[in-house]
Amino acid sequence: MSDRMDEIRSTRAPRLRTDQIEILKRYGEIRKTEVGDVLFRAGDTHNDFVVVLEGEVKVGDDFPGEARTIGVFHEGRFLGELNMLTGQAMYLTGVVSEAGEVLSIPRERLKEVVTEEPNISDIILRAFLARRSYMMKTGLGLRIIGSRHSGDATRLREFAARNRVPHVWIELEDDPKADALLARLGAKPSETPVTVWQGEDVQKNPTNLDFARTTGLEVDAPLEHTYDLVVVGAGPAGLGASVYGASEGLSTLTLESVALGGQAGTSSRIENYPGFPAGLSGFELASRVLVQADKFGARTAVPQEAIGLRRENGHFRIELSEGGEVVARSVIAASGARYRRLGVESLGPFEGVSVHYAATQAEAQQCEGEEVVVVGGGNSAGQAALFLAGRTRRVYLLIRGEDLGKSMSRYLVDRVLKTGNIELLPNTEVRELVGEDRLDGLLVEDNRSGTRWTLGARALFVFIGAEANTGWLRGIIDLDERGFVLTGMELDGSALDEDVWLSRSREPFLLETSMPGVFAAGDVRSGSIKRCASAVGEGAMAVRLIHQYLADADAQKA
């Protein structure tokens, strides 16, 4: 076996030392096993964490007709997956294939291990993360059958991918298995997309919430409680706020409408996050923070979308899309932004690999010396083009209109036009992305003549603006002209809640919105930096200010 394979195997299926197993014995109990014993089944949410002490256990995908073994575990190896720490359902089934003995640790006690035994917990967490990556790459468990032209199929696939739910995509048009499988499940092609969980639980065009419930993905938290702090959005800012809130004694609930990790969760490698010199994926960052937040008692509800907010008797009521409300003494809006994507169908598979929404050293390194395309006519596109021109062979700058000076500052236009290896292509739009694992080229079109040609670019940088996720706050708190949340000094007399501020003796806190007690952190905030580290930092800072706000509110009551 090569060194690389050895390294992968030792991360994914590490063998615990005897002294480490002795420590773990304090958290669970030893039990005998017989051939055929099912230690956990796909769909389980309450199974124990298992260390094999003697004998053999096979873990596999038991989809009918396509069952296969994924891993074989012997003495000293442990079973399980990230879901054991996040409270979600198992994707695979573990069956004893050789009688012996196992150490069983209940999920709740595994959390104690994470808190109390940092050395062992690091081995477990790394293995869990590596196993999830492997399952995502291998494709197993859930089946999604649908057409590549269907918007609902795309929605479900994106939801599964964002939540890192291992799945197999069966395409109606191309996969010869599709028709037979649909017939066996009693579904017609017109009823697709169809999802099949554990080989039998069939859903026809489920909503994201149905899908989450069926696959045990839903992370539920009691909603009838009054929380000290409700955080809306579980990107870096929201997750940061939830760790700091819970660790500083505030009862904290985070609501997330799609998937933990936010935009960062879509990044395959964040290279500039302090403390991780080798970089880390957005999913790994989010998973680590989630486990940490859970350790401090923070609650997270996914998928739960906030659709409204109002203040009533000194408390905040956050309205949820699926009905019901959550009550909080303070709120952090950390609902982030969505980078505008190009309306090109073939974009998805290349995102995070060859399609970027930022141009930093990290992205530039991936395409050093190659040809790249930058799309956009604003300052961020101009800055990116100049930055990339110094690191790549050629930059094609594509704008939809005729004139670069329309929305880009003059000094940038001059510099762009003077830079020899930037080629401006006005009236040009991307029509298709070409390539297998990485981008090989872009089919572009002159939008006046309809002429199409291919640019041999290896990376695409998209800077066509970002939209704030503030639909749930519109008309409730003050937003800037682009829809981002105004905070602190920026409010300056424009507050919707002017009467509230006038009746008070203090100015808004730094990250406080026009509604006292509601704060904003991260990309959703007007003037924010749009970086992971700054979002996490603002989440932490907002919590600090909430302590002041709550102390103030308590003092007024007394």
Smallest gap, in angstroms, from Cβ of residue 129 to ligand FAD?
Answer: 18
Smaller CB separation from ligand FAD, 206 or 233: 233
User: Site map for ligand FAD, 215-254, x if CB under 6 A?
Assistant: -----------------xxxxxxx----------------
Smallest gap, in angstroms, from Cβ of residue 48 to ligand FAD?
Answer: 31
Q: 326 to 355, contacts with ligand FAD by CB under 6 A?
A: 334-337, 339, 352
CA distance 411 to 433: 32
Contact between 522 and ligand FAD per CB under 6 A: yes
The count of residues interacting with ligand FAD (CB under 6 A) is 40
Contact between 535 and ligand FAD per CB under 6 A: yes
Smaller CB separation from ligand FAD, 113 or 535: 535
Among residues 530, 537, 547, 553, which is the contact residue for ligand FAD, using CB under 6 A? 530
Contact between 287 and ligand FAD per CB under 6 A: no
Query: For residue 482, what are its two tokens?
Result: 């682009």
Contact between 484 and ligand FAD per CB under 6 A: no
Burial 156-168 (b: 16+ CB within 10 A, else e): bbebbbbbbbbbb
For residue 82, what is the DSSP state? T
Q: Is the distance from CB of 437 to CB of 410 less than 8 angstroms?
A: no
CA distance 524 to 243: 19
Smaller CB separation from ligand FAD, 95 or 486: 486
Q: Is the distance from CB of 199 to CB of 61 less than 8 angstroms?
A: no
For residue 183, what is the DSSP state? H
Smallest gap, in angstroms, from Cβ of residue 321 to ligand FAD?
Answer: 8
Helix residue spans in 275-347 (DSSP H): 282-295
Contact window for ligand FAD (CB under 6 A) among 211-219, 480-488, 522-530, 549-557: 522-530
Element (H, E) at 9: helix 3-12
Q: What is the 3-state secondary structure (H, E, C) of 397-464?
A: EECCCCCHHHCCCHHHHHHHHHCCCEEEECCEEEEEEEECCCEEEEEEEECCCCCEEEECCCEEEECC
Sign of the alpha-carbon dihedral angle for 228, 231, 232, 234: negative
Contact between 472 and ligand FAD per CB under 6 A: yes
Q: In terms of DSSP bridges, do strands 518-520 and 194-197 run parallel, antiparallel, or are they unpaired?
A: unpaired
Among residues 61, 62, 218, 256, which is the contact residue for ligand FAD, using CB under 6 A? 256
CA distance 442 to 347: 11
Contact between 460 and ligand FAD per CB under 6 A: no
Smaller CB separation from ligand FAD, 114 or 320: 320
Contact between 461 and ligand FAD per CB under 6 A: no
Q: In terms of DSSP bridges, do strands 142-146 and 194-197 run parallel, antiparallel, or are they unpaired?
A: antiparallel
* Distance separating the N- and C-terminal Cα atoms of the chain: 70
Query: For residue 540, what are its two tokens?
Result: 């932490």
Residues in contact with 268: Cβ distance below 8 Å, sequence separation at least 6, in sequence order: 281, 282, 352, 353
User: Site map for ligand FAD, 168-207, x if CB under 6 A?
Assistant: ----------------------------------------
Residues in contact with 387: Cβ distance below 8 Å, sequence separation at least 6, in sequence order: 359, 364
Contact window for ligand FAD (CB under 6 A) among 40-48, 102-110, 268-276, 435-443: 268-276
Burial (CB < 10 A; 0-12, 13-18, 19+), residue 180, is exposed
Smallest gap, in angstroms, from Cβ of residue 67 to ligand FAD?
Answer: 35
Smallest gap, in angstroms, from Cβ of residue 282 to ligand FAD?
Answer: 7
Contact window for ligand FAD (CB under 6 A) among 30-38, 195-203, 487-495, 527-535: 527-535
Smallest gap, in angstroms, from Cβ of residue 208 to ligand FAD?
Answer: 11
Contact window for ligand FAD (CB under 6 A) among 51-59, 132-140, 259-267, 452-460: 259-267
Smaller CB separation from ligand FAD, 286 or 291: 286
Contact window for ligand FAD (CB under 6 A) among 5-13, 342-350, 357-365, 422-430: 357-365
Contact between 255 and ligand FAD per CB under 6 A: yes
User: Site map for ligand FAD, 359-388, x if CB under 6 A?
Assistant: ---x--------------------------
Q: What are phi and psi of 554, to 5 degrees?
A: -65, -40
Contact between 146 and ligand FAD per CB under 6 A: no
Burial (CB < 10 A; 0-12, 13-18, 19+), residue 8, is middle
Residues that bind ligand FAD (CB under 6 A): 232-238, 255-258, 262-264, 266-267, 270-272, 305-306, 334-337, 339, 352, 357-358, 362, 469, 472, 522-524, 530-533, 535
